[in-house]
Amino acid sequence: MAPNVVILAAGQGKRMHSDLPKVLHALAGRPMLAHVIATARALEPARIVVVYGHGGARVKEAMQQSDLVFALQEPQLGTGHALQQAVAHLESAGSTVVLYGDVPLITAETLKALLVAAGEGVALLAAQLDDPTGYGRVLRDARGLVEGIVEERDATDSQRAIREVNTGFMVLPTARLSGWLAQLSNRNAQGEYYLTDLVAIARRDGVPVNAIVARDANETLGINSKAQLAQVERIYQARCAALLMEQGATLRDPARIDVRGNLTCGRDVQIDVNCVFEGDVTLDAGADIGPNCVLRNVRVGPDTRIEAYSHIDGAQIGSRCRIGPYARLRPGTELAEDVHIGNFVEVKASAIAAGSKANHLAYVGDSTVGRNVNVGAGTITCNYDGANKHRTIIEDDVFIGSDTQLVAPVVVRRGATIGAGSTITREAPPDQLTLTRVKQVSVASWKRPVKNANK
């Protein structure tokens, strides 16, 4: 039976020292809450309820999707009180999984194991920590069964010495939640309603309480400060790097890569240091990415080389291309095979056919470029008239000399040659030289001005 999932995301996050709600701070390019929601969806739940509070309008606006239900917790009176706000939205049958919007590294595999451990009862996820400071301790009876959770503020000295801690993740029988939550008390050091008190209530009612220990304690790390956010970011990136290398990618330094979306690599892909991948990026077999590149929503074809410091956004790149260094490809760029885009060249909303090249200091925007075209250094397509964009068409086998301006809309026909320094405003005919130049003049009597010594 499909479980319910409740994500507690109402905390203020005072230690973040930020106006942004804590759960909206970015981890790997997405709000940390988005990671938790994605994990929840992997459980194929009957319902996902997000309990929000501080910055609620911003949380709802950022996360609003058709499969999410939002429940307001106002004021915030503890985790037990937070779950009370969600109960009315849950499917009554089966189990309810409790997650946390500021604990984004939890995996679906661990949660599935927790569901199995719960059966029709209660299960909690524990962790063994060398330093358990700040966590509630798991109390077990002589048989090793869970008999309760004690928060650190309420614990005795002997209880504080326990290294097995409660992570907060729980599976509970949904049908019992309303009755159990009504029995919670706030008679504790914080004056809050603790979700963990449900363990003792369940045992009193004869409901079995199981606990499993997380195989990787990092999954249970919560984020309450910018330092903790940075720590979790590196753990997340290390996970991504390990997975990429398992799939056959070569990373020059696994500690210096940032994946802020979905990165898919073919065989024998190589990635140099300090590269950032955002959105959906696919690197086909043999692609080679130089250092300090940023790729966003890109597909890179087989055996293509992206040289250092290139920025590529929303582009489709064919096989055996050579891009950069210091190249910029903007959205709508489509490069066929064997295209060369060199240093300080920018391409936007343009299709460039096979074998063409723009190797130096050029701008190609809103253009259709044919096969085997040479775009000389300093060439620009003048595509914007101040109000509207216009298209440039360059047919096959065209040679464009350096420092040429192509004023769109304009067509350069097949096999044409454009002389260096020309400004082309009308159609250039096929297989002819077209150029626009004034007559060169030398003035023999001209003298260079000399600075006045008295000034």
**Catalytic residue annotation:** 360
Residue 244 and residue 58: Cα distance in Å, rounded?
Answer: 34
Structure tokens at 307: 């040289």
Distance spanning both ends of the chain, measured CA to CA: 91
Residue 346 and residue 365: Cα distance in Å, rounded?
Answer: 8
Please answer whether residues 175 and 92 qualify as being in contact, where contact means their C-beta atoms are separated by less than 8 angstroms.
Answer: yes
Q: What is the DSSP letter of 136?
A: P
Report the candidate in 233, 317, 319 with the shortest Cα–Cα distance to residue 276.
233
Dihedral-angle region of residue 85 (phi above 0 means left; psi in -120 to 50 means alpha; beta otherwise): alpha
Residue 32 and residue 313: Cα distance in Å, rounded?
Answer: 24
Please answer whether residues 389 and 372 qualify as being in contact, where contact means their C-beta atoms are separated by less than 8 angstroms.
Answer: no
Structure tokens at 100: 């946390």
> Residue 403 to residues 227, 282, 297, 394: CA-CA distances in angstroms?
50, 35, 32, 16
SS3 annotation, 429-442: CCCCEECCCCCCCC
> Helix, strand, or coil here: 96?
strand
How many residues appear in the chain?
455
Structure tokens at 194: 């603790």
What is the residue type of 375? Answer: V
What is the residue type of 448? Answer: R
Residue 294 C-alpha from the chain's centroid: 13
> Residue 426 to residues 107, 307, 413, 417: CA-CA distances in angstroms?
61, 36, 11, 14
Q: What is the DSSP letter of 221?
A: -
Please answer whether residues 212 and 113 qualify as being in contact, where contact means their C-beta atoms are separated by less than 8 angstroms.
Answer: yes
Q: Which residue has the tokens 């405003």?
A: 425
Q: What is the DSSP letter of 238?
A: H
